[in-house]
Amino acid sequence: MVKYVFKRIGYMFVVLIILSILMYCIYSLIPSNRAYSDARTDVQGMKQQLRNATEAEKEAIFQERYLMYQRRYGTDTNNILLRYLRWVGVAPNYYGQHNGILQGNFGWSQEYKDTVLNVIREPMKNTIFINIFSVILALAITIPLGIVCAVHKGSKGDQAVQVGTIIGYSLPSFIICIVFIWIFCSLLGWFPPSGMKTPGSNFTPWSWKWFADRMKYLALPLITMTFVSLGGMTRYVRASMIDSLSMDCIRTARAKGVREKTVIYSHAWRNALIPVVTLVVGWFIGIFGGSLIFENIFGLNGMGKIMIQALRTADVDMIVLLQVFYVAVSLLGNLIIDIVYGFVDPRIRVSA
Amino acid sequence: MKKNGFSAGDGWFARFFRGGSRKLADDVEKKREEGVDVEEIVSPLKMIVRGFFERKLAVIALCVLIAMFLVVFIGPHFMPKYYDSYNEVTQNNVPPTMSMLSVPAELKIDIKMIDSYGSFSVGVSNAGKVYVWGATQLGTTGVDVKDIPEEVRNAKIELVAAGIDHIIAIDENGRVYGWGHNGLGQFGYFDPEKYPNILSMPDELVNGTIDVKNVKKLTCGYQCSAILMNDGSFYLWGNKNTYQNIEKFAALVQLEDIDFTLNYIVGLTEARNAIFTGTRGLYDQYRSNLNTAAQPSKTYLDGRKIMAISAAANNVCAELDDGTLCFAGDFASNSKPMPALHDGEKVTQISAGNYHYTALTTEGRVLSWGSNTLDQCEVPAGMTNVKKIYTGAFQSYAVNSNGDLAGKWGLKGYLFGTDNRGANVFQRIIQGGRMTMTIGAVAVIISTIIGIIMGCISGYFGGKVDLILMRVTEVFAAIPFLPFALILSSIMAQMNISENNKIFLLMVILGLLSWTGLARMVRGQVLSARENEYVTAAKAMGVKEFVIAFKHILPNIVSIIFVTLTLDFATCMLTESSLSYLGFGVTYPRPTWGNMLNGANNATVIKNFWWQWVFTSLFLGITCICINIVGDTLRDVMDPKSDRDK
């Protein structure tokens, strides 16, 4: 098992390295030059000192500054591999310093004029909170629903749920968002359509009022996110439950005269859990990408919104870090899936 | 087994495709009638088709899907006048209606005058009753111009005119009424101190009366109105922001004629030698027809006088004292030129819509020309005894000497309403559907090709090749789909490539990011298929392994690929829609179902302009649901396990 896990982790690193090279090359396509704009700002800032300078002198000072910034940021070379290594923090820059991701330098957001890590701290918290909350909510609904549907397979209720779920997972999430905003904000007026808190309010964090206010604003996004995940999840739970209900061990258990409840919740459900657990992990990753749309529609201060903003303003370092975040989440998820598979299914462990 | 038209055996649909020996089939039938249980041998494909058509829901979904495809791919051929960047400010956010030409029955037989500027029309009968029809709900204001005020209903109205969101009426006693939206000085008194951007309605109109017999013209524009008297004096009021030259006109005392284009007020001064705009260089190039060369006003007129003017949105038609017409301003290149008049025929009445003109000649002919994008110029044949013509925004009405409606033509309305740019939502849905489906289909084809090649090679050859290819697959599978697609398309947007290439690249991106699932599945199938005897046989015969993998094994798993392809098609469509919705896929003016919903991301639009998102969502949703139902049913039917419990 240990060997298996290490093998998986090894694969993960290979994938990560390949992906990061790939992504670095893609990001270098974005036309953005921090050194250039910094040098320009510097020269403009020196207007007083350069009052009597000629154009040529100004240009010389600009070139000097430009080179300095390029060296500082490690972009003073056209060799993309070297730039990549500097970005990672493996190769030293002009001054012989290692200043890359491995040293904790994730970059500088030109839009927010702050380090990317600082900008991202708050949205990250929000995104993780929203996602975990909606996953828990969705699981609490889908698992019982899926089991009931599987047990009463073919009944009227099951068929209704089948049609409902197919609609649920076929509709794009933004349409569901629009419909929910229309129902809950326009028709019923229960929730505010967007935002994270009442504008102008200043509650002390973690006080009761703060929490109530926040929940009022987050309720609709959470309901929508949960609803969107219901369709696929219920179908999956139902399918795996049906599979495990047709297993021989179930027939044996029934033949033994075990109570039906025990057969379903103890024998069948445990077998059905194997694919469900892996699905939950995979789906948890998917939801991080999917929350992009929710955060944008509901105006939530999360990673997805930051990302769209960064894309609109070509804030390169920001995009890179967000992408690293998404890739890391997804790789980590894959790793967890593999390991969980290994734990629950001995066949996989052996064949690996 | 349930029997319906599609089911096997005696169903016509099954018989339609049944081949082979008729005699054998009859034998089987005979035996069955005798009560002998005969088991038919059917090929797997037949089983699948049979199983599929037994499910009503799936059959319905398939039919809807096919209908959707037909509508989306054939529909555009019926819309030759459609173009992507169509923009019409007077038709913004018009709700679904087909009543823009529906003159009320009471008015039809007793027409005094009809007018319109935007999405609704107003008419007054000889009895003095006012009627309003068309899209009368005005956007977010909550005003319905159909709610005619009590005092107007009680008065005998002589003249009416419609603006973009208000109506002005004058009754027989000379009282001036206004109703509709009134936030921007459309009628009533506005304190100039408090509202510097509003030219208030003159006091004598608000509180007093005018001599209605002496009113030469009542006309309304975009939140502005004017009353011209026979003696040349005139009243002008409204929103200063909508007409740049309103101050110039407010300073005048005398005018022979006045009218509103979309952005300028045009007038005729006593000199009658030019169209007065108060702005240098505006409407001073005249032409004899829409498609002829323009000349400076002095050269063109050559001493002739202008008798009257009528203004469309971007151009003005002037009637000269020798009975000819001349035009000033801009015309769309696809405008229909004015038809030639017969010898000695003269235009007796001319009336301007927003982009077209309608005229009545001395021979009683009715002519329409100008822009024909919304069928404004399709004059019906067979109108006789036409005495008067009235032209509104995109509608024209001909009235005979009894005051009856002789004919009406032009824009009926919009089936699905219009969007915030005034474009027809229905047409955009059809055009957008073609784009969305094409992108989905091409992306799915790309991803299927990659997936099959990767899966086949990896599954068939195994070993190191498998290891490497599966790592590659893992790399692609680890890329978080939506964020990555967003980044790629935003990079693409910043590069200088043409719109068509961008769309093609978008398809490639979608295809490149979504093949991994299929590759893994194909690999799994090939892994099990390569142990079959026919593969061993092929190997023994010395068939190239490449051929074995793609020609021998692949056809055996093609049905499963087909199911994945169907489901992936829906996924690709949804991804494209999500990207376009976020503004990173296909962008305006090109419509797709995703970017058409882009405008619906705020509560105001969702609440007030429901037609802008409901129909698009329905089309997108129904298509995806149908694809998924078809795909799911196919998978169910192909899975031998699923039949066991039935």
Residue A15 to residue B490, Cβ atoms within 8 A = no
Q: Which two tokens stand for residue B395?
A: 């509608």
Name the pLDDT band for A290 (thresholds 50, 70, 90).
Answer: low
Asked whether the CA dihedral A334, A335, A338, A339 is positive or negative, the reply is: negative
**DSSP structural state of residue A43:** H
Q: Are B393 and B116 in contact (CB under 8 A)?
A: yes
Residue B607 to residue A182, Cβ atoms within 8 A = yes
- Please check whether residue B578 touches A, CB under 8 A: yes
Q: What is the mean pLDDT of chain B?
A: 85
Q: Which fold has domain B424-645?
A: MetI-like fold (1.10.3720)
Residue A21 has pLDDT above 80, yes or no: yes
What is the per-residue pLDDT for B463?
Answer: 84
Q: Which range has the top average pLDDT, A66-80, A90-104, A203-217, B526-540?
A: B526-540
Question: Which CA distances in Å does A209 have to A185, A191, A212, A291, B422?
Answer: 22, 16, 5, 26, 45
Q: DSSP for B167-189, please give it.
A: EEEEETT--EEEEE--SSSSSS-
- Please check whether residue B243 touches A, CB under 8 A: no
Over residues B132-190, the pLDDT tens digits come to: 998 888 877 778 888 888 888 888 998 999 988 889 999 888 888 898 888 888 888 88
- Please check whether residue A171 touches B, CB under 8 A: yes
- Please check whether residue B491 touches A, CB under 8 A: yes
Distance CA B552, CA B550 (A): 6
What is the per-residue pLDDT for B19?
Answer: 56
Name the pLDDT band for B92 (thresholds 50, 70, 90).
Answer: confident
Q: DSSP for B121-163, please give it.
A: EEEEETTS-EEEEES-EEGGGTEETTS--HHHHHS-EEEEEE-
What is the per-residue pLDDT for B372?
Answer: 86
Q: Are B171 and B156 in contact (CB under 8 A)?
A: yes
Report the predicted TM-score, pTM, of the whole model to 2 decimal places. 0.84
Distance CA B84, CA B249 (A): 37
What is the per-residue pLDDT for A58?
Answer: 77
Name the pLDDT band for B11 (thresholds 50, 70, 90).
Answer: low
Cis peptide before A193 (omega within 30 of 0): no
Residue entry with tokens 């430009």: A66
- Please check whether residue A186 touches B, CB under 8 A: yes
Count CB pairs under 8 A between chains A and B: 134
Chain B residue with minimal CA distance to A173?
B578
Residue entry with tokens 């975990």: A132
- Please check whether residue B603 touches A, CB under 8 A: yes
Work out the percent of chain A whose per-residue pLDDT is above 70: 93
Closest CA to B141 of B183, B78, B84: B183
Chain B residue with minimal CA distance to A242?
B642
Rg of chain A on CA atoms, in Å: 27
Q: Give the DSSP H/E element, type plus range, for residue B487.
A: helix B481-494
Residue A175: which of B480, B620, B629 has the nearest Cβ? Answer: B620
Work out the percent of chain B whose per-residue pLDDT is above 70: 94
Residue B582 to residue A296, Cβ atoms within 8 A = yes
What is the per-residue pLDDT for A96?
Answer: 73
Over residues B199-210, the pLDDT tens digits come to: 888 888 888 888
Instruction: Report the gap between the CA of A19 and the closest CA in chain B (Å).
Output: 7
Q: Give contacts of A 81-110 with B, CB under 8 A.
A: none
- Please check whether residue A258 touches B, CB under 8 A: no
What value of ipTM does the predicted structure carry?
Answer: 0.81
- Please check whether residue A330 touches B, CB under 8 A: yes
What is the per-residue pLDDT for B443?
Answer: 92
Q: Are A197 and A262 in contact (CB under 8 A)?
A: no
Name the pLDDT band for B644 (thresholds 50, 70, 90).
Answer: very low
- Please check whether residue B398 touches A, CB under 8 A: no
Name the pLDDT band for B645 (thresholds 50, 70, 90).
Answer: very low
| Residue B160 buriedness (CB in 10 A; 0-12 / 13-18 / 19+) | buried
Instruction: Report the gap between the CA of B601 and the closest CA in chain A (Å).
Output: 6
Distance CA B174, CA B606 (A): 43
Chain B environment of A331 (Cβ under 8 Å): 478
Distance CA B101, CA B392 (A): 10
**DSSP structural state of residue A329:** H
Distance CA A311, CA A305 (A): 10
Residue A329 to residue B584, Cβ atoms within 8 A = no
What is the per-residue pLDDT for B444?
Answer: 92
Domains and CATH numbers, chain A: 33-109 (no CATH), 117-344 (1.10.3720.10)
Residue entry with tokens 């899936």: A337
Over residues A101-145, the pLDDT tens digits come to: 778 777 777 778 888 888 888 888 888 888 888 888 888 888 888
What is the per-residue pLDDT for A35?
Answer: 77
Instruction: Report the gap between the CA of A98 and the closest CA in chain B (Å).
Output: 28
What is the per-residue pLDDT for B69?
Answer: 92
User: Which amino acid would we find at residue B390?
Assistant: Y
